[in-house]
Structure 1
Amino acid sequence: MANEEQTAAAPAARKRRGPLLIGAVALLALAGGGYVWRTQKAAHTPASRQAESKVELYLPMDPPFVVNFRDGDSLRYLQVAVTLMAHDPQAIETAKSADPVIRDALVSLFSNQEYAVISNAAGREKLQKQALEAVRKIVQARLARPGIDALYFTSFVMQ
């Protein structure tokens, strides 16, 4: 009789483990699904979009600008290679489409310089800031935001 009680208790214990095992597997599946959902949601947050937009995009303004200007009685030449930098692809596309307008503004700016001013580092930095402001103004008129983050002189030759 003791043997019959032990065999009856054994199937009852097995029956109790089945729902418990199924519940544990279901709980793990839900936890795993929740983890996947949360990581996918985090990948599409504004912070992740900002991280993606941290990529620097460059637009060289080719060919380089060549202008002449007067220095007293002599005629001087200035050759400047300009590259624009932005984090916004739309700003780069806008600058590409506005290339003739940007080139016109920069030629006007460069040709109105004085040799004594741009022959030193402080004068070149000031000219670089003025050029960036001119480009931002043009891009902002078309895109409704400045868009261009920096303007670099990749070559600067005066003669």
Structure 2
Amino acid sequence: MSETGKDEKKTKKKGKGLLVKAIVGLGLVGSGGGAAFGMMQAGIIGGEHEKEDNEPKLVRKGEEDPYAPASKDKETEGLGEVHGEGGSEYRTSYYSFTEDFTSNLAHSDALIQVSLAASTRRDGRVLLWTKKHELAIRSAILGVLADTPEEDVYALAGKERLQKRLTVAINKVLTEREGFGGIDNVYFKSFIIQ
């Protein structure tokens, strides 16, 4: 056989060997790649870890709240907690706004002045966020009060609608800034119309 024939056989043999090695290699990489992909999905290796669930949780009565304020000082002013018997299985915590709210009523010369508290059954993060964003929340509350018709503040049904609108306004601010609302209700501590 000539030198060229030997070279052709070697090249064909070498080509088949490389092809087999490539297929086997791809098979290993493929199965390893599948395993690696699965591990990446599970957050074990590489890539971005699964997003942490940062949503405040409901706190049952008697359970410890890991986010509850540790002490009563200027930093936690307004944050309060009530553990009552009966009712809901979840604990209710309250946030008292430190200052009253005063606003004109819609299309009226009348003024409204209210003192407010908000409640949540979720962990202490909601109260801490409420304290942290109180300025933005105050602005939203004043907007709701200014948009309230005078006839609404004299009837019980109107006051209940106002409570719901205030709750929505607070949750909107918290959702925009923290990604979650969590306020269940707003309560009037005082309610004066002039």
Please give the TM-score of this superposition, normalised by the length of structure 1.
0.62
Counterpart selection for 2:183 from 141, 148, 151: 148
Unaligned runs of 5+ in 1: 1-48
Unaligned runs of 5+ in 2: 1-58, 66-89
Counterpart selection for 1:78 from 100, 105, 112: 112
> 8 Å contact 2:163–2:185 — kept in the other structure?
no
Root mean square deviation of aligned Cα: 1.8
TM-aligned CA distance change 1:93 to 1:70, over 3 Å? closer
TM-aligned CA distance change 1:113 to 1:145, over 3 Å? same
> 8 Å contact 1:128–1:152 — kept in the other structure?
yes
Deviations 1:114-136 (A, max 9, x none): 11122111111101100000111
Higher relative contact order (CA 8 A, sep 6+): 1
Partner of 1:106: 141
> 8 Å contact 2:60–2:91 — kept in the other structure?
no
Partner of 1:115: 150
Question: d(CA) in 2 for partners of 1:99 and 1:147?
Answer: 15
Does residue 124 (structure 1) correspond to residue 159 (structure 2)? The answer is: yes
Work out the percentage of aligned pairs sharing the same amino acid.
26
Structure richer in strand, relative to its length: 1
Question: d(CA) in 2 for partners of 1:56 and 1:117?
Answer: 28
- Structure label with greater radius of gyration: 1
Question: d(CA) in 2 for partners of 1:131 and 1:70?
Answer: 15
Structure richer in helix, relative to its length: 1
Q: Secondary structure at the match of 1:148?
A: coil
Partner of 1:4: none
> 8 Å contact 1:91–1:143 — kept in the other structure?
no
- How far does residue 149 in structure 1 lie from its aligned partner after superposition? 1.6
Question: d(CA) in 2 for partners of 1:155 and 1:136?
Answer: 22
Q: In the alignment, residue 64 of structure 1 is paired with which amino acid?
A: D
Q: Secondary structure at the match of 1:63?
A: coil
Question: d(CA) in 1 for partners of 2:134 and 2:173?
Answer: 10
Partner of 1:89: 124
> Alignment length, in residue pairs?
109
Please give the TM-score of this superposition, normalised by the length of structure 2.
0.52
